[in-house]
C-alpha cells in the first residue's frame, strides 16, 4: 500500500520515496528540498485543515492537501529515529 504525505499525522516522521508530480510542481518541490530520501515531519495544521506545515531539512514548509497527495512516503518508526 502506497502512503502519501497528506496521510501523515501531526508529529509523525516519514521518508520521501517518490514524487509523482511533474513539470513546475515537481521543480518547486525539489527547490524546497523535497526529494526522495528526505526525512520530514508534520508539525502544524492550519485552523481550517489546509495547508499543513512540514519540517524539511530544518525549514518549515507549508503544503496544501493537493500538493502533499503527490508525494509518496514511508513512515519512520520511533525505534528507527
- Tell me the β-bridge partners of 40: 14, 56
- pLDDT confidence of residue 2: 73
d(CA 24, CA 1): 27
**Cell digits of residue 27:** 521543480
- pLDDT confidence of residue 56: 93
Give the residue, 79 or 41, on which the prediction is more confident: 41
- 1-52 pLDDT, tens digit per residue, is 679 999 999 999 999 999 998 899 999 999 989 999 999 999 999 999 899 9
Domains, the chain, with CATH or none: 3-74 (2.30.30.90)
Location of C-alpha cell 521543480: 27
- pLDDT confidence of residue 80: 53
Amino acid at each position: 500500500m502506497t502512503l502519501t504525505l497528506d496521510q501523515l499525522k501531526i508529529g509523525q516522521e516519514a521518508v520521501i520515496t517518490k514524487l509523482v508530480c511533474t513539470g513546475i510542481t515537481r521543480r518547486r518541490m525539489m527547490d524546497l528540498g523535497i526529494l526522495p530520501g528526505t526525512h520530514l515531519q508534520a508539525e502544524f495544521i492550519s485552523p481550517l485543515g489546509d495547508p499543513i506545515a512540514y519540517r524539511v531539512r530544518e525549514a518549515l514548509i507549508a503544503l496544501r492537501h493537493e500538493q502533499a497527495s503527490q508525494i509518496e512516503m514511508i513512515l519512520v518508526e520511533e525505534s528507527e529515529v
